[in-house]
Amino acid sequence: MTQPHLRIVSLIPSATEIVCALGLENFLVGRSHECDFPPAVKTLPVCTAPKFNPEGSSGEIHQRVSDLLSSALSVYRVDVAQLEALKPTHIITQAQCEVCAVSLGEVEAAVAELTQGRPQLISLSPNRLADVWDDIYRAGVALLGEAGQAQAEAVLAGLKQRVQVCCDRTARLPSPTIACIEWTEPLMAAGNWVPELIALAGGTSLFGQVGQHSPWLTWDDLTAADPEVLVIMPCGYNLAVTRRESAVLASHPQWAKLQAVQTGRVYLTDGNQYFNRPGPRLVDSLEILAEIFHSEELAYGYRGRGWQPFAGERGLP
C-alpha cells in the first residue's frame, strides 16, 4: 500500500492522542507544548507556548488568565517560524475552549502568515461524548479518506465496547450523588462530557449539564448539595499538583461540613491526563470514575496512577 503524504501538526493533546489511536503517530511532525501522550511525542518540535506563567496556585493562575482575556489577548502563542519549517499538510486545533489551548482563530492567523503552502485545518469542538466520537471519525476521514473512515470506525467500535462493558457492570449498583471539581480557586464544577461520564459510571451528577461549559460554584452551593462523593480533577493538573491544590479546599471553614469529607469519600484524580482531554482516554476516565464510585465491586487498575483517596479529616495525607 502506498504511504500517504502526511505531515501532521497537533496543537492540542486530545488531538495528538486521536492521531495516534488512528495509527498515524509516525506522521506527526509537531505538537503543542502540552502534548505528552503517548510519551514518544515529547520528542517532537513544540509549536505553541503560554503567554502567562503557568506556575503558582489555582487562584494566581486564574487571575493571570483572566487578565489576559480581559485585555482581548489570546492566552497562547503560535510559533509561526516553527510551522513554516515543519511544512505541515494538516494542522489539528480546537474551538472548544480558549483557555485550554490555542484557538482556531489564532491558528488561522498563523497559517495566513505562512509563505509555503496552506495546510488543511481540522478543528475539533467537543462538548459531549458523541462529539468526541465524531471528532475521531472526522479526523480519520480528513487525514486518510476512505481508509481513515475504516480505521476510525474500528477505533470507535473498541471504545464504545468498553463503555458498554462499564455500563453493564454498574447498572445494578447504587448511584451515589457526585460533585466533580474542575478548579479549586475559585470553585468550578466539571461540565461538558463529565456529567455524562458520571452517569455512565453509575453516579448521579449534582453540578454541570451535559454538553455545557463548566459552571462556577460557591461554597454555599457545594454544602447545600452535600455530595456523597467528591472528585477533584483540576484542569491541567496531575495527581501531585492536585493534592497540593486540594489542601486549599481542605482549609476552608465549610470543608468539614461535607458528608463526603466526613465519610472519607473524597478522591483526587489526574485531570490533565484523563478528564480534561476529550479524546480516546475519556473511556479511561469513565473507568476511573466507576472504580472510584464502586471500589468494592470494580477494579480497573487505575488507583495510584489515575486517582487516589484524599485522606484525613482535613484532606491532608
List, for residues 13-46, the tens digit of each pLDDT value.
Answer: 999 999 999 999 999 999 999 999 999 999 999 9
Q: Give the model confidence (pLDDT) of 284-309 as tens digits.
A: 999 999 999 998 899 999 999 999 99
Q: Give the domains, in start order, of the chain with CATH numbers.
A: 8-125 (3.40.50), 175-309 (3.40.50.1980)
Asked whether the beta carbons of 155 and 21 are under 8 A apart, the reply is yes
Cell 509516525, located at residue? 26
Asked whether the beta carbons of 220 and 228 are under 8 A apart, the reply is no
pTM tops 0.85: yes
Cell 473507568, located at residue? 287
Q: Give the model confidence (pLDDT) of 171-195 as tens digits.
A: 999 999 999 999 998 899 999 999 9
pLDDT at 233 over 70: yes
Q: How many residues does the chain have?
A: 317
Q: What distance in Å separates the CA atoms of residue 227 and residue 221, rounded to the nearest whole number?
A: 11
What's the pLDDT band for 311 if we cut at 50, 70, 90?
confident
What is residue 315's predicted lDDT score, i.e. its pLDDT?
Answer: 42
pLDDT at 55 over 60: yes
Sign of the dihedral defined by the CA atoms of residues 203, 190, 57, 288, in that order = positive
Residue, of 111 and 184, whose pLDDT is higher? 184
Residue, of 75 and 240, whose pLDDT is higher? 240
pLDDT at 52 over 60: no
Nearest to 246 by CA among 259, 261, 257: 261
